[in-house]
Amino acid sequence: MPVDYSGTWDIVSNVNFEAYMVALGIDFATRKIASMLKPQKVIKQDGDHFTIQTFTTFRNYECIFKIGEEYQEVTKGLDNRTCQTVVNWENDKLVCVQKGEKKNRGWKHWIQGDELHLELTCADQVCKQVYKRTL
Ligand code: VL7
């Protein structure tokens, strides 16, 4: 059985988010607000088709993609840039490359026990988040 990311996930830890936001060029005031947020991810997986929604009390973000198909992503409400984005499987890991103005940008998701892990990378900064399923 392949891994199924579907579900509702609540953040339980968030390491180096501030430096990741600085790397993305997010202004001070927005960073102060964003650093207080407790994002919830709602993931819908149907084979290789994904919808990942990130909800907070401040802003929401959604991305929809199919594994292996490059698309134009506009990071609306985040750093508002345009990327050529592709997500691939690396074994059971979801590996996203966001090609654009920022070097070495992307993210990886994997599941470890009952936890959803997320590594967000921009330039030389890596933010590590862990989520648990909503009870
Ligand atoms: C999305 C936030 C900081 C701007 C607002 C904070 C709003 C949440 O792309 C992401 O997730 C992937 C993998 O799950 C799927 O789209 C991460 C959050 C990154 C970067 C930028 C601060 C302003 C936070 C909506």
Using the mean position of ligand 1's atoms as its centre, give its distance from the Cα of residue 55 in Å: 9
Please give the average per-residue pLDDT across 41-61, as a whole number. Answer: 97
pTM for the whole thing? Answer: 0.97
| Sequence letter at residue 26 | I
Could you write out the three-class secondary structure of 40-104? EEEEEEECCEEEEEEECCCCCEEEEEECCCCEEEECCCCCCCEEEEEEEEECCEEEEEEECCCCC
Asked if the model's pLDDT at residue 2 lies above 80, the reply is no
Q: Can you tell me the ipTM of this complex?
A: 0.96
CA of 29 to the centre of ligand 1 (A): 16
Res 79: pLDDT? 98
| Domain spanning 7-127, CATH architecture | Beta Barrel (2.40)
User: pLDDT grade, residue 80 (50/70/90)?
Assistant: very high
